[in-house]
A and B are shown apart, each in its own frame.
Chain A
């Protein structure tokens, strides 16, 4: 179903309206971006994405696929140009690309929302402005689809504020816990990683890598809780972004519980179209799709984080793991008896293997160094049992 202007219309109570207005004024992303020299690229990307949405809405009735492809390609090229080009080409001081964490993150998420917006049939400038710059979720997940943004919460405003505040407090608790964990983990930065790999015993190193994932989860989900809480106070139900990912016993289940809205976006815009094409291949379509579609999707996911060898390698790793799991589920699992599949040892082994694979991947993801040679050596050291420590 496409979301249209008519979806807005539920009466919003005065307190949430007031809160949203105050937030829009005081914490408007453009104000925050101005403080970190990122307002110009954000405004440029906003203008371009609005024009692309309008053009796509006009062209879609005649050429739906070509129009979507052209619009998505334009947005991707613009986001890459604004976010990565200066860094990759080595001129970091042109003003458009001064490295600033907030700006990078903001632009990356703005890109996802802009592609989501292509699913809508009609945008007014005012509605697109509100959707694009919705303050609570501008800089990070959850990634709001237009439908979720337009669907206002009904009921008493005080209950939304209480629920939102509860989410914010829960988020603060998680962030505090993450801060406590921060200096215990080996992947806080490249230097810490190098120090840990040089001196930690192997079992502790694996525990540290797992702890790094816990830290990232607490930190990211903590902020997400706050964003969801503030959204709720503003009368918008932002989707959940995490669902206890460390309970997942397979890599596929992990990605359905971790950064859920990004996973859904990737599924809708990369995985689904790619796998449909591959399945249709005349020979071994299913096998090729099982192995290749996750790799393409996760490489795109890595490149979305940043266009660097490290992130792309991280995406390849996860894509390969997902492909292997899909193949295992299709061809090996049915050959196992129900007794084996349900046995506690089988489940424990699945859980351990899943989280070892995830933990190992943080070596590529968290230091985010670009020093791929050093990181790869560390990675090899970690994975090769017995050679570390």
Chain B
């Protein structure tokens, strides 16, 4: 029931007294006073107190949303009436919603039409990219020099698709020896050009020493041995003679492995590759692999892995999404709005001139014995293939920041133990860089720092042949 004219005028008079001005003169009785800015919240409290002093029931509550309080509702409160207003239906009357509501009168037809429309769009995207924009896609992938362009934001999650577009598959020279370099976002050369990555710099260093070698950058962000094994499985048929593993403390820390497993969906979505690699391991050594496989499978459920694998298997949008995103955000967007991550990243060296402290090493009770066993078995498997294995211990942070703790074990110590047992070459560069050599975090290096690392690796691999 709406308020009468007299009731409204009574309320108007009270408000005039409380507010001390005539701002509510001529205001319609159903205008929302707070939302229209006619009353502030504190004024509403004053008005409520005055109305309650005159015997009104509390203005707030009783189903009246504060945003809907009007002269009408205040008059109702003054008269002791409860005037609950239904939810504000005007908010739902937009043309889009009205149109959708009309279309949804036949929900099954709408759902089927929407699905069919999406599938047709998806097919059109596939045809457009694969037949008419293959060059642009190859350029987006930087000619296949890496598994994704310069930052993880442009990566899709299907390792097989990425490797199929990598130079190691598309334009490898058969006359050159092949070295595989596995690693993380630091190894791939995040935010620097592909030729400035440490992998490319190592290849250049080796070639300067007269080595006819092609080093394939097969790094992907995330510090997990399981991910490296999935990528190794995809190139197992290639005639490689050296494999470089990037190692850091995260690779041997159980808590960090769990963190990486839960954080990155690209690891769980490629679970079948891990299971395929497991078949190459002798039965007696499979225990740790199976234990890690169980952790991966658990994560896979949380990440909706089966659903996402179905998407990757059937829909182009899953694979080409990052490319389309980049076209919109970096190519089509006007210059002042375009994504400029590489340039922006090059301008900032967050560790330059800064001081910091990093506790080096892993707590002894956090060391993941499974990871160590898995790495040993993989090295032995590769050595049975006459493949040389190199364990590259990556920089942990600016050397001057690192702080040794006697109660912690360093990745380099573990790598050396594995190297002693298996004969793998260990290259410890964990303290090779100073402040200023890092980009946004201590995980990513400047082009100059990559040159230092690449040269050190080349020299460690070919010690006698300095250029």
A306 within 8 A of B: no
Contact at B49–A276, with CB atoms within 8 Å? yes
Q: Tell me which of B100-108, B180-188, B305-313 binds A.
A: B100-108
Given the complex of chains A and B, what is the CA–CA distance between A295 and B177 in angstroms?
68
Contact at B344–A198, with CB atoms within 8 Å? yes
B34 within 8 A of A: yes
> Chain B interface: which size bin?
35 or more
Question: What residues of chain A lie closer than 8 Å to B60, measured between beta carbons?
Answer: 267-268, 272
B1 within 8 A of A: no
Contact at B42–A161, with CB atoms within 8 Å? no
Given A166-B103, A199-B343, 6 new contacts (CB under 8 A)? A162-B105, A166-B100, A195-B341, A195-B440, A240-B87, A240-B88
Contact at A289–B65, with CB atoms within 8 Å? no
Contact at B84–A1, with CB atoms within 8 Å? yes
A352 shortest CB reach to chain B, Å = 16
Contact at A1–B97, with CB atoms within 8 Å? no
B253 shortest CB reach to chain A, Å = 13
Q: How many residues of A contact B (CB 8 A)?
A: 58
B443 shortest CB reach to chain A, Å = 11
Question: What residues of chain B lie closer than 8 Å to A180, measured between beta carbons?
Answer: 325, 328-329
Quick one: which of B171-207 are within 8 Å of A by CB? Answer: none
Residue in A closest to B347 when the chains form the complex, CB atoms? A199
Quick one: which of A196-238 are within 8 Å of B by CB? Answer: 196, 198-200, 204, 237
Question: What residues of chain A lie closer than 8 Å to B337, measured between beta carbons?
Answer: 184, 204
Contact at A204–B336, with CB atoms within 8 Å? yes
B272 within 8 A of A: no
Contact at B40–A326, with CB atoms within 8 Å? yes
26 contacts across the A-B interface (CB closer than 8 A): A119-B61, A147-B63, A162-B104, A163-B101, A165-B107, A166-B104, A170-B97, A180-B325, A183-B325, A184-B339, A194-B348, A195-B344, A199-B347, A199-B348, A200-B344, A252-B40, A256-B35, A260-B67, A263-B67, A264-B65, A267-B66, A272-B60, A275-B41, A290-B42, A325-B40, A334-B21
A122 within 8 A of B: no
A35 within 8 A of B: yes
Considering residues A167, A267, A286, which has the most beta carbons from chain B within 10 angstroms of its beta carbon?
Answer: A267
Residue in B closest to A36 when the chains form the complex, CB atoms? B302
Top 9 A-B pairs ranked by shortest CB distance? A166-B100, A162-B104, A199-B344, A166-B101, A1-B62, A275-B45, A240-B91, A198-B348, A326-B40
B281 within 8 A of A: no
A298 shortest CB reach to chain B, Å = 11
Contact at A271–B100, with CB atoms within 8 Å? no
Given the complex of chains A and B, what is the CA–CA distance between A308 and B23 in angstroms?
41
Given the complex of chains A and B, what is the CA–CA distance between A290 and B340 in angstroms?
45
Question: What residues of chain A lie closer than 8 Å to B88, measured between beta carbons?
Answer: 240, 243
Question: What residues of chain A lie closer than 8 Å to B153, measured between beta carbons?
Answer: 183
Residue in A closest to B22 when the chains form the complex, CB atoms? A334
Given the complex of chains A and B, what is the CA–CA distance between A1 and B63 in angstroms?
7
Contact at A252–B41, with CB atoms within 8 Å? yes
Given the complex of chains A and B, what is the CA–CA distance between A293 and B40 in angstroms?
12
Contact at A257–B35, with CB atoms within 8 Å? yes
B82 within 8 A of A: yes
Question: What residues of chain A lie closer than 8 Å to B43, measured between beta carbons?
Answer: 326, 329-330
Question: What residues of chain B lie closer than 8 Å to A199, measured between beta carbons?
Answer: 340, 343-344, 347-348
Question: What residues of chain A lie closer than 8 Å to B34, measured between beta carbons?
Answer: 252, 256
Residue in B closest to A261 when the chains form the complex, CB atoms? B65
Given the complex of chains A and B, what is the CA–CA distance between A325 and B37 in angstroms?
11
A247 shortest CB reach to chain B, Å = 10
Quick one: which of B1-49 are within 8 Å of A by CB? Answer: 20-21, 23, 34-37, 40-43, 45-46, 48-49
Given the complex of chains A and B, what is the CA–CA distance between A119 and B339 in angstroms?
50
Contact at B35–A253, with CB atoms within 8 Å? yes
B299 shortest CB reach to chain A, Å = 11
Residue in A closest to B333 when the chains form the complex, CB atoms? A184
Contact at A267–B41, with CB atoms within 8 Å? yes
Chain B 310-347 interface mask (CB, 8 Å, partner A; 1/0): 00000000000000010011000100110111011101
A74 shortest CB reach to chain B, Å = 22
A239 within 8 A of B: yes
Quick one: which of A31-56 are within 8 Å of B by CB? Answer: 35-36
Given the complex of chains A and B, what is the CA–CA distance between A178 and B348 in angstroms?
27
Question: What residues of chain A lie closer than 8 Å to B61, measured between beta carbons?
Answer: 1, 119, 268
Given the complex of chains A and B, what is the CA–CA distance between A260 and B66 in angstroms?
9
Contact at B100–A289, with CB atoms within 8 Å? no
B459 shortest CB reach to chain A, Å = 33
Chain B 79-122 interface mask (CB, 8 Å, partner A; 1/0): 00010101110011010110011011101001000000000000
